[in-house]
Amino acid sequence: MINVESITNRWLTTLELAKVFNTEEILRHKTEDYQVLKGIGNGDLFYSGRNNHIWVQDLFMALTNKKFIVGGQGKAHPDLYMSEGKAQYRVEVKAFDKKDKIRVSPSKFFASNGGMTELKNLETKKEQSDLVLSHYIDDYYLLTQTTKKALSRMSVISNLQFYLIKKADMLPLLKDDGRVPISIIDLSEEI
């Protein structure tokens, strides 16, 4: 059985992940599927934030032989569940383009979501930071190179980079982004 520690806190590509789990053939089939998806219209289904979030969930479930299981899109479910022995962990997926500016803030604090008003109404930076910290509820964060800009530069899905990090390892690394406290992580150099 593969221990999640072997893929945690280091940069990997989906090809490297497939080699760890012996799922290279599945990656080949998934690559074909996503090429079809990329060809529909102007790639709107492939590049759409909501849709590519779903295909990334599907990809990780397939490549890890269901060690990661699709959770949901909101409604109190994490993006993925990950099993380790008898324990089950919550995994949040966050897309990035540049490794030095990965936005990991909880979705409550994205532009149109309700948390921004609540955040602005707090008087001190500490209160704001505490509020944001209280919404990091998942056990792991799966940072994937899947923004529209990153995907448009990528020629094959097997080169897609990701970084799986434990919440406890991530929180001390967070920095402010100017609008939301403790919401950006810099992983341009491996930790």
Task: Report the side by side order of strands in the sheet with 87-95.
Answer: 11-13, 161-166, 140-144, 87-95, 80-84, 68-70
- pLDDT at 57 (0 to 100): 92
What is the mean pLDDT of the segment spanning 160-172?
A: 96
User: Which two three-digit tokens encode residue 184?
Assistant: 């950006």
Q: How far apart are CA 82 and CA 121, in angstroms?
A: 36
- Which helix (H) or strand (E) element contains residue 175? none
pTM: 0.92
Per domain, the residue ranges of the chain are 4-185
Contacts of residue 44, Cβ cutoff 8 Å, sequence gap at least 6: none
pLDDT tens digits, one per residue of 91-135:
999 999 999 999 999 888 876 667 888 888 898 999 999 999 999
What is the mean pLDDT of the segment spanning 147-176?
A: 92
Q: Write out 131-180 in H/E/C secondary structure.
A: HHHCCCCCCEEEEECCCHHHHHHCCCHHHCEEEEEEHHHHHHHCECCCCC
If DSSP codes are grouped into helix, strand and coil, which group holds residue 129? helix
Eight-state DSSP code of residue 158: G
Neighbours of 97 (CB within 10 A): 16
* Percentage of the chain modeled with pLDDT above 70: 97
Q: How far apart are CA 64 and CA 183, in angstroms?
A: 28
